[in-house]
Amino acid sequence: MRRWIERGVAVLGSASLLTGLVFAHIDLELVHRGAGGRLVWNLRVLVPLGIGAALLLALAATRLGDVRERLRGGRAAAFGRNLVGSLAAIAIAVLLNLIAAHHPVRLDLTAHASYTISPRTRKALERLAALPGPVTAYVFVRPDHPWLPTLQGLLESYAAAAPHRFVVQRLQPSRDLLRFERICRALGIDPTTLRSANVVILAAPPRTRGALPRSRQVPLEAMTSQPAALGSAPRRGSFRGEEAITRALLSITRPRQPRVVLLRGHRELDRTAADPRARIERACRSLESLDYAVTTLRLDPSHPDPSRLPTDGDVLWIAGARDPLTGPERAAIAGWLERGGRLLVLAEPVLRQQPGTTRTRFVPLGLDALLRPWGVGLLEAVLADPDTVTPLGPLSLRVPVRREPHMHPIVAPLAGLELWLDRARPLALSPAVARERGLRLTPLLGTYPSARALEDPTALLEPLSAQAPTG
């Protein structure tokens, strides 16, 4: 009878240990951080491991007499050697796992570098070091969803780039519904709205004590440009999870959402312009994907209110103005720049036919007077290069993006390519003036040596009447 009881205890203890190891393989964690950064023990792993270990230790304690009897004689030395070897192997395995956990190395061998995150995402992850706790990504996606492996690989790349600062927790709807509901309530989210959804929830520590953690929901549908049906393979290149997740990450970790303010009232490029050449919808959507708020501003031409100009690091964007800024507008913007304002100007040459002639003239917009005190001058000319003219028109040219040791980040991804520009405007840079203001001028592009600036492009153009905006 005793032997049967011992066998039952051995089977039950081994089964408990095996169950705990299976759950540990699935969850890969004995402790995790819940909402608000609180440590939560994974009882689903610890309880069966503890029960199994206790049963096997109790069984071993009842058999100590038999063990002593068998170790008498010459077997003791062999048993000792085997025991030491086994313990050494276990210690080496634990040490290797600890080294791998603290110094992870990932290799992306996919053809399209699907799991290599962009420099923008890495910069956003570096900012997490300033937070009082880690950012947690709760993955609540059905296990049979075709995009789940791709999503998991992407989030693991985030966690590898920011160890202990970006934590991933996967919850399966079939077994973790109660835990998911508790997490949602701790984050101030109604769980009933997400029970049937495939969603990733990012949660960051609260800015003030006692407040709710900052969170943002990212539906899986928002990460796919062309959602794949269940059971079918997703189309390559249609997963846009990094863009959506990084935008959500920025929104919950930035102190405030930055703005880009489009100036209006001078026939600038517009998001909804009827002419597609004058539309900048794609640029605005790209800014919004980086968690910038894109708004518009129209100043009073005669009495502009300087207080309406952007503040706190926001940017004023003058995008392709075709009518001149008034004197009061320029004065208001110039004073705002002196107080630390940030300005982005996209200025192409505006050409109009002189009345009663076939000659063309440049329309002064007042932007040159606004920028010259900062070391940047807009010449009243248009660039032309007969050796590199393109099908875009007689005033188009090809411009190389040369590889240089200290390239500006905005053109570094284009290194080695050639850009086609139509009606480009040359600049006159004054580095000495910029240095007096503590600035450094960084040219983005330079033409081929055969290019020249035309102050009178009439010979290359048909007589112009009113031009349509180009972008």
State whether 247 and 270 are in the same domain: no
- Determine the pLDDT at residue 35: 43
State whether 125 and 249 are in the same domain: yes
- Determine the pLDDT at residue 343: 93
State whether 262 and 221 are in the same domain: no
Q: How many CA atoms lie within 13 A of 293 on its CB side?
A: 11
State whether 245 and 136 are in the same domain: yes
Does 214 map to a domain?
A: yes
Does 198 map to a domain?
A: yes
pLDDT digits (tens, 9 = 90+) for 138-195: 998 888 888 888 898 899 999 989 988 999 988 876 677 788 888 888 888 887 777 6
State whether 245 and 272 are in the same domain: no
- State the DSSP string of 104-138: ------STT-TT---HHHHHHHHGGGGSSS-EEEE
Which ranges of 298-366 would DSSP assign to H, the alpha helix?
327-338
State whether 269 and 248 are in the same domain: no
* Domain range enclosing 265: 258-346
- Determine the pLDDT at residue 45: 66
State whether 20 and 54 are in the same domain: yes
Does 72 map to a domain?
A: no
| CA–CA distance, 187 with 198 (Å, rounded to integer) | 17
Q: Which residue do the tokens 């040791």 mark?
A: 405
State whether 342 and 375 are in the same domain: no
State whether 302 and 176 are in the same domain: no
Q: What is the CATH number of the domain that holds 162?
A: 3.40.30.10
State whether 136 and 39 are in the same domain: no
State whether 178 and 242 are in the same domain: yes
Does 94 map to a domain?
A: no
Does 394 map to a domain?
A: yes
Which ranges of 254-412 would DSSP assign to H, the alpha helix?
281-289, 327-338, 367-371
Lowest mean pLDDT across 106-115, 335-344, 355-364: 106-115
Most confident of 69-83, 98-112, 330-344: 330-344
Count the helices and strands in the chain (H runs, E runs): 12, 18
pTM higher than 0.95: no
| CA–CA distance, 371 with 378 (Å, rounded to integer) | 8
Give the number of domains in the chain: 4
State whether 246 and 292 are in the same domain: no
Has residue 30 got a pLDDT over 80?
A: no
